[in-house]
Structure 1
Amino acid sequence: MEEPKQGIREKLAGQSQQGMNPHLPAEPHDSKPDTTGLELVLKVRIQDSRENDFIEIELHRQELSYQSLLQVSCSELGVPPEQVEKMRKLPNTVLRKDKDIQRLQDFQEIELLLVKSGNPEWTQHTSPRTETPCYNSNAAKMTY
């Protein structure tokens, strides 16, 4: 005789209970634990450095704080933490406290701004600025 017609919801519920859903694997293929959610990956560089590339650093999501970001970034970039004036999330947001760090998402770009008057040893990280003065003495002497 005629089989009773099942609704789509009932059919899908029955398949997922039996492990027959083609979109979901019946058994896990990998026995490795999923570690993607345990670490936050950030891209970090020094502002106005000769090296314009970012490096990627990892921070444990359980230990997200301003201090931990500063320590790991400085360690990876080879800069003492005392030389960092501030940290900026690109393009234009200054990071000031732990809550700012906790809102960061994977692969966001962070820039370390170094102190201007520091040890000459660390000035090699920053490129020399080639600014021209705004005041033109020749123009000031001109008469009309």
Structure 2
Amino acid sequence: MTTSQNPFGVSISVDDVIENLGFFDSWEDRYRYIIDLGRELPEMPIELRSDDRLVRGCQSQVWIDVAESEGRLQLTVDSDAFIVKGLLAVVLAAFNNKTASEVLAFDISTYFEELGLMRHLSPTRGNGLQAMVTRIRDEATRRL
């Protein structure tokens, strides 16, 4: 089980995301769940919303800050779009509070396949999601 802690102490795991999305019959309900996940994320401090943290290749504005504490990556994220912030929460379940090696070893493609995510996102949203993952993996690579 892969678990990520947010600053409010709420745990979300990859397994939880997969299981919870499986409860919903329609993608409309799944999108609502993903948006709700994003609403649970803490607000990114305004000073972290800088150009160097802006993810290129996203349709919406997306900021990712990666810090390291005790060998684990601490991700702070934000977006100006509700659904994208929810997608960031899905990504955080996989990557937040993990070592750089764990981030790079995690099979994000299989995770997205289990969620059925890429089939239900527009091509531009899908490209943006991949850009977010690439940004986090690049940061993990720099820390090896």
TM-score category (smaller protein): under 0.3
> Which has more helix, going by share of residues?
2
> Which has more strand, going by share of residues?
1
TM-score by length of 2: 0.24
Larger Rg computed on CA atoms? 1
TM-score by length of 1: 0.24
